[in-house]
């Protein structure tokens, strides 16, 4: 990097110093978490370009600029480490980039140039905002990593994820991908925990006994429904319950007025019947009732089910099984 000595550039010098001081303040006050770290990494290239084009008249100012630039580099390294620590990735970007680089000469990835450390850190942060990002180590050294990401941006793909896995050449063909894939799939399954017991949050619902399926309009009407299907068909079996248990289904594809919704539940005969309004409600995540629904916002359908009641599909004592769907 070359620092030119001709011209003024006082405003740019002040901007560099100000950003450097703000970065120091962020680190010292404990604000350099994931988001701050990403901001620092994104700003780094801009500050370096400013430093290169500074036109300074005084040797002393040159020294200050160089010192600020060195300090900025240190802060960015600290920010990078803080970002990775917050993401649970302790290996560091260099090791992950070294694993990724050989794939550029294959058809696995459609890139031609190894991304910068800043760009790679941004990608990790973007993934971690919604999905798991795992690193596999052997004897303390990274030998592979895997993550999930959106299959496509359209709203209909919100329940779909694509998996990516990269292994170092030394680890390829030795079964290293299996533990990464298994762990990633299990985390995704647990992440999609769409049903729970709000009155018994310590009791986990077995997701192997829960399902969320598409119910066609035709099938809905054949089974006794009236109106238009407005949600998935949600089914769950819960063991060791109270005589009356509230089950909550999370969903984010609702819109309009909550008063326009009806809830149908399947009976033992395979037919649906409307559930009384006193037995169910639409709430926010805190459990407060809502009147107006916005598509993309997470809501909860809370249903009170009596063990052995009309909508309990299980014949076992202290076990309930319900299957419900919303309609308009």
Separation of alpha carbons 293 and 191, rounded Å: 23
Q: Per this entry, what is the length of the chain?
A: 328
pTM, full prediction: 0.53
Q: By C-alpha distance, which of 247, 242, 255 is closest to 297?
A: 255
Q: What is the pLDDT of residue 196?
A: 85
**pLDDT tens digits along 194-222:** 888 888 877 778 878 888 889 999 999 99
pLDDT greater than 80 at residue 1: no
Helix axes 117-128, 34-53, angle to 10 degrees: 160
- Show the tokens assigned to 89: 């990735």
Q: How confident is the model at residue 65 (pLDDT cuts 50, 70, 90)?
A: low
- Show the tokens assigned to 310: 């009309």
Q: What is the pLDDT of residue 295?
A: 84
Q: What is the pLDDT of residue 252?
A: 81
Q: By C-alpha distance, which of 51, 127, 124 is closest to 81?
A: 124
Mean pLDDT of 149-165: 77
Beta partners for 293? 256
In degrees rounded to 5, what are phi and psi of residue 15?
A: -65, -40
Q: By C-alpha distance, which of 168, 128, 125, 119 is closest to 145?
A: 168
CB-based contact 162:180 (threshold 8 Å):
no
More confident residue, 59 or 295: 295
**pLDDT tens digits along 284-293:** 988 899 999 9
pLDDT greater than 70 at residue 231: yes
Q: How many CB atoms sit inside 10 A of residue 46's CB? A: 12
Q: What is the pLDDT of residue 300?
A: 93
Q: What is the pLDDT of residue 67?
A: 52
Q: By C-alpha distance, which of 116, 123, 207 is closest to 164?
A: 123
- Looking at every residue in the chain, the average pLDDT score rounds to 76
Neighbour-count burial for 275-297, b at 16+ CB within 10 Å, e otherwise: beeebbbbbeeeeeebeebeeee
CB-based contact 4:55 (threshold 8 Å):
yes
Lowest mean pLDDT among 2-11, 150-159, 248-257: 2-11
Mean pLDDT of 28-41: 40
> Helices in 129-176 by DSSP H: which ranges?
none
Instruction: Tell the residue number behind the tokens 């294959």, with chain if given.
Output: 106
CB-based contact 53:45 (threshold 8 Å):
no
Ranked by mean pLDDT, which of 40-44, 238-242, 296-300, 320-324 comes out on top?
320-324
Q: Which residues, 6+ apart, have CB-to-CB distance to 302 below 8 Å?
A: 198, 246, 247, 248, 280, 281, 282, 283, 287
Residue 213's alpha-carbon distances to 120, 153, 159, 178, in angstroms, are: 36, 22, 12, 28
Residue 291's alpha-carbon distances to 29, 112, 229, in angstroms, are: 41, 51, 19
**pLDDT tens digits along 109-142:** 888 999 998 899 899 988 888 888 999 888 888 8
């Amino acid at each position: 990097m070359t620092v030119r000595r001709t011209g003024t550039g006082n405003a740019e010098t002040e901007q560099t110093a100000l950003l450097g001081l703000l970065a120091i303040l962020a680190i010292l006050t404990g604000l350099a978490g994931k988001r701050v770290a990403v901001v620092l990494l994104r700003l780094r290239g801009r500050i370096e370009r400013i430093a290169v084009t500074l036109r300074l008249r005084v040797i002393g100012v040159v020294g200050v600029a160089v010192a600020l630039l060195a300090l900025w580099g240190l802060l960015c390294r600290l920010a990078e480490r803080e970002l990775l620590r917050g993401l649970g990735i302790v290996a560091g970007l260099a090791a992950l980039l070294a694993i990724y680089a050989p794939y550029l000469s294959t058809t696995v990835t459609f890139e031609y140039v190894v991304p910068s450390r800043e760009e790679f850190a941004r990608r990790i942060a973007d993934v971690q905002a919604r999905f798991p990002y795992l690193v596999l180590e052997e004897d303390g050294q990274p030998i592979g990593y895997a993550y999930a990401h959106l299959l496509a941006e359209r709203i209909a793909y919100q329940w779909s994820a694509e998996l990516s896995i990269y292994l170092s050449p030394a680890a390829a063909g030795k079964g290293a991908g299996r533990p990464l894939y298994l762990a990633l799939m299990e985390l995704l399954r647990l992440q999609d925990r769409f049903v729970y017991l709000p009155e018994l949050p310590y009791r986990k619902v077995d997701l192997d006994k829960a399902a969320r399926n598409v119910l066609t309009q035709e099938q809905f009407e054949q089974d006794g429904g009236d109106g238009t299907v407005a949600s998935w068909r949600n089914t769950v079996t819960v063991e060791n319950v109270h005589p009356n248990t509230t089950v909550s289904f999370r969903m984010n594809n609702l819109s309009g007025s909550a008063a326009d919704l009806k809830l149908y539940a399947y009976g033992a005969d395979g037919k649906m019947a409307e559930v009384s309004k006193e037995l169910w409600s639409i709430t926010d995540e805190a459990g407060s009732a809502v009147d107006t629904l916005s598509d993309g916002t997470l809501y909860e359908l809370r249903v009170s089910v009596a063990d052995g009641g009309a909508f309990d599909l299980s014949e076992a004592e202290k076990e309930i099984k319900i299957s419900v769907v919303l309609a308009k």
